[in-house]
Amino acid sequence: MLTLNQTSLNIELDHPSQRSSEFHYVWLRDNCGCTECVHPDTLERTLVTAEIADDIAPQSADISDTELVVAWNDGHHSRYAMDWLKRHDYSHSRFQTDLAAGEIKLWGSEIQNQIPEYDYRALHDDDQQTLLNWCCDLRDYGLTIVRNAPLKEAEIERFAEFVAVVREVIYDRLHNVRATPGEYNAYNVASTTLELKPHTDMPCYNNPPGVQMFHFLANETEGGESTAVDGFKVAEQLKQQAPEAYEILTKTPVFFQMDSARGDIASGNPLLTLDTDGKLKVFRFSNQLARPSNIPAEQMEAFYAAYKKIGRLIEAPENKVQFRLETGDIMVTNNLRVMHGRNAYSGAGQRHLQLSYMDMDDVLSRIRMIKKTQVAA
């Protein structure tokens, strides 16, 4: 059944509630998929939305079991498959067609012995289902460990290129982290033997790298256990315990800066960045890279109270996992969510890791590509 109204049409799409679905004329005209409106080779839109007439409306519309056919008052004709309309029905809830969509799983110390682990060779040699599972775990948990990687220079870069592509930053594309016994050659805390507090990398970027990866070429020291904290979990705790503090951290910019021979990156952004639905999208935190705040004086005390609250939640034992990474292990985190760190360690023995980055968008792209391949098969 089809009913035309002043600005929209209503169609019954076999809803369990038997409700009809509303599709606005301008939306339908804007999403015409014919070869005049979408390039047949590139699949990019050629229809310019701003050029759609303000009074766009059907001159006629017909519906069958398989498609809706509309003749528009601008002279254009459009066809919409019923299955397509069902997938893009926005009347009763937001449609979800993203093959990479998942479910964020918040965690604390309870996953100490349940962190998703994979074998490096299995990720490369097995069918793509193993790689898909790893990508999905990284998406859902924001933390994975890959065991038994080859002990070769630049292997982490090759791993990044196997999954997606390397994200360049102002440090070297392949970044070495080590503290040489007897020397103080460090440019930041990560290159000393001191404790490294949980943090996200590169908070100075307006768009930080989405995935942080490091590969242990050697780990022969005492101590140095790795730590990780789910930033989304502590943010949710803060929201429940002190909603006013949560609100402050979604609106107050924190200034971060870091430099190298290749550049000087600085920016000010809230620790908690929300999406258009008000859901947490990016968690950034690095106590060691924060610079003096210059927010208005009347906001300073409230900001610091909120800042300390979330800092104490980050350090709470119930929110932290701790584990030892051995030679050949790779730790991968969603750097827009999960903080990583390590305990202090002795100067005796080698400890050398290589670091590289990807973007989370490219990991989600890999999920979509694998799923499309599976559907086609």
Residues 124, 77 share a domain: no
Q: Are residues 143 and 82 in the same domain?
A: no
Do 193 and 83 fall into the same domain?
no
Q: Is the pLDDT of residue 15 over 80?
A: no
Question: E strands along the chain, which residues?
Answer: 2-4, 8-12, 20-24, 58-63, 67-72, 77-81, 117-119, 143-147, 175-178, 196-199, 211-219, 226-230, 253-260, 263-270, 272-274, 280-283, 320-323, 330-334, 338-342, 351-358
Q: What is the pLDDT of residue 185?
A: 44
In this structure, is residue 25 part of a structural domain? yes
Residue bearing the bigger pLDDT, 375 or 216: 216
Q: Quick one: 276 and 205 in the same domain?
A: yes
The answer on 153 and 69 residing in a single domain is no
Looking at the structure, tell me whether residues 51 and 120 fall in a common domain.
no
Residues 171-195 have a mean pLDDT of 67
Q: Examine the fold and report which residue of 35, 53, 87 is the final residue of a domain before the chain moves on.
A: 87
55 and 120 part of one domain: no
Confidence check: pLDDT of 108 > 90: yes
Mean pLDDT, range 99-124, rounded to an integer? 96
Residue 198 has pLDDT above 90, yes or no: yes
Angstrom distances, CA of residue 2 to CA of 67, 78, 262, 350: 12, 16, 62, 73
Do 191 and 52 lie in one domain? The reply is no
Domain-embedded: residue 98 = no
Rounded average pLDDT over 30-45: 96
Residue 123 domain flag:
yes
Residue 334 shares a structural domain with residue 219: yes
Is residue 359 pLDDT above 50, yes or no? Answer: yes
172 or 338, higher pLDDT = 338
CATH number for position 122: 3.60.130.10
Q: Which domain holds residue 327?
A: 109-372
Is the Cα torsion angle 216, 220, 224, 225 positive or negative in sign?
Answer: positive
Measured in residues, the chain has a length of 377
Once rounded to an integer, what is the mean pLDDT over residues 89-113? 88
How far is residue 301's CA from residue 18's CA, in Å, rounded to a whole number? 55
Region 303-310 average pLDDT: 98
Cα–Cα distances (Å) from 316 to 20, 155, 309, 362, in that order, read: 50, 34, 11, 32
How is residue 167 annotated by DSSP? P
Judge if 133 and 75 occupy the same domain: no
Has residue 14 been placed in a domain? yes
| DSSP labels, 316-366 | -GGGEEEEPPPTT-EEEEETTTEEEEE--B-SSS-EEEEEEEE-HHHHHHH
Residue 99 domain-assigned (yes or no): no
Instruction: Answer yes or no: are the C-beta atoms of 95 and 87 closer than 8 Å.
Output: yes
% the chain with pLDDT above 90? 75
CATH (domain of 70): 3.30.2020.30
Total count of domains within the chain: 2
- Whether 372 has a pLDDT exceeding 70, the answer reads yes
Residue 104 lies in a domain: no
Looking at 54, 87, 120, the residue that finishes a domain is 87
Residue 300 lies in a domain: yes
User: Whole-structure pTM over 0.75, yes or no?
Assistant: yes
**Which pLDDT does position 182 carry in this prediction?**
45
> Quick one: 44 and 133 in the same domain?
no
Q: Based on the domain organization, do 70 and 122 belong to the same domain?
A: no
Residue 265 lies in a domain: yes
CA dihedral in degrees (186, 188, 194, 196; nearest 10)?
A: -150
